[in-house]
Structure 1
Amino acid sequence: MADLLTCREAAQLLNIDLLNLVDILAVGDIVPTEPDGLAGSEVWARNEEIRLCETDIDLIKAELRRRQFADFKRDYVDVYQQDEKPGARGLEFGPGWLGVLTAYADGLRALNAKWNNSHAQLRWGKEKFGALHLYSDYLLATKIEVINLHREAYKSSLQTCQECGLPARLRFGHSICLTLCDRHKHTIGEPDPTRDGIILDLNAWMLEQRD
């Protein structure tokens, strides 16, 4: 690839949405070839100036694979079977929670062995209010052992950066909250001083307000 590509051209080459590509660059872990040193919060404002080389494209391909949890889906096919019903969901959260996800999946494997290969399976998961919510087979989800796995994944996610997996806390912007480390906290924008660093578990905080 001799010529540098615009974000739009790169998105077409990678067969992804332009916003998806810019969002990956805005995280700041992949710095485009041009403009020099552009990263983080500047990416959205100046994305039309960005030019990407072949090495950049290769890095983005690897990042897409990481964000799609491709290796996890291969290695945990016995305990992860994506829901195929109409409107089915997938693994809709940041790649930094891979360790939390694999701990949950290892827990399901252990339960399958305990329950004589009952095949408890994870179906889908999402990020909500900066925390990880996982959904397994609906009958098995009523068992306390599976409930405890869900609780542990939820708790761990609120202490783990959803971008890179480093220790983190819930961060509040004015319109979004995400669990992020210091290096990735810029992705929420300007912090909301009335909530950032004060509310560390939004679900728990909302329950407290009802009492």
Structure 2
Amino acid sequence: MSDDTYGLRAAAELIGIMPSTLAYIVSVGDVLPERGVPTSTTYEGTVWNDLKKFVFTSPDIERYKLEMDRRNFVDFKAEYADVYTPDEGPNSRGLEFGPGWTGILGEFCDHMRDYNDIGRSCKLRWGKEKFGALKLFCDYDDSIQRYVEHAKGVAYGRSLGTCQECAAPGRLRYGDMICLTLCDRHAHLAEPLDLERDGKVLDVSAWTRSQRRTE
């Protein structure tokens, strides 16, 4: 390859991520290499490819660096540094979900600011996607536990109707191996779908609890 083009591994190293992470971002379909992606089958919103044939240019590297800033919530962390205190320690966790939920995260932290403004300490520590829904973890005064748990519940509920990739309206996609809340354009990320449950199970945690009650 010429000096200004790179394969998947070399491009990932320049961006500062794992090759699997770069491959996933390409499969999302929102940021594609300018030389195009070699495909065996393509349909709306889906990229099937031979990773060994990927070619990235220098401008691609910069575009994917910006995309990683978005996925790492760089702007959010700067804006909400007063209420977001990152988890620390050898087993620390981060913001482990898609960028489409950034708006939900910001609304939650706005509530946290309201509590801090009246002298009730509340800090977001970390969050994760589990079974297609947003779960947030905080440190807070015991006196506001009920309010914080309510705000967490609102964020959880909103996430089940919001694509975790792009923030468009979405729904839980029940795959054979994974459950993700996605819009139609990004639904391919959960394929192959479990046709017995997809579209019928709207909240995996609630469905699981109901199954235990009926057994």
Give the ranges of 4+ consecutive aligned residues of structure 1 lying more than 4 Å apart after TM superposition: 35-39, 138-142
Structure-2 change in CA distance of 1:78 and 1:33 (3 Å) = same
Report the CA distance between 1:139 and its aligned residue: 4.7
Gaps of 5+ in 1: none
Aligned residue identity for 1:98: T
In structure 1, the residue matched to 2:100 is: 96
CA distance in 2, matches of 1:35, 1:64: 20
Equivalent of 2:174 in 172, 180, 188? 172
Aligned residue identity for 2:195: P
Output the aligned Cα RMSD: 1.8
Q: Indicate the structure with greater strand content.
A: 2
Indicate the SS of the match to 2:125: strand
Indicate the SS of the match to 2:6: coil
In structure 1, the residue matched to 2:137 is: 135
User: Alignment length, in residue pairs?
Assistant: 207
Gaps of 5+ in 2: none
Aligned residue identity for 2:179: C
Identity of aligned residues (%): 44
- Whether the 8 Å contact between 2:126 and 2:137 is mirrored in structure 1 is yes
Q: Deviations over 1:52-104 (max 9, x none)?
A: 11222122111100000001110101100011133010101000000110010
Q: Deviations over 1:162-199 (max 9, x none)?
A: 00000000001111110000010011122110111010
In structure 2, the residue matched to 1:157 is: 159
1:168-207 mapped onto 2 (5 Å cutoff): 168-207=170-209
Aligned residue identity for 1:96: G
Q: In the alignment, is residue 85 of structure 1 matched against residue 64 of structure 2? A: no
- Whether the 8 Å contact between 1:82 and 1:90 is mirrored in structure 2 is yes
Indicate the SS of the match to 2:64: helix
1:9-88 mapped onto 2 (5 Å cutoff): 9-35=10-36, 38=39, 40-43=46-49, 46-88=50-92
Q: Deviations over 1:2-28 (max 9, x none)?
A: 522111110111121111111111110
Taking structure 2 as the reference length, the TM-score comes to 0.90
Q: Deviations over 1:126-180 (max 9, x none)?
A: 0000000000006549711101110001000000000000000000111111000
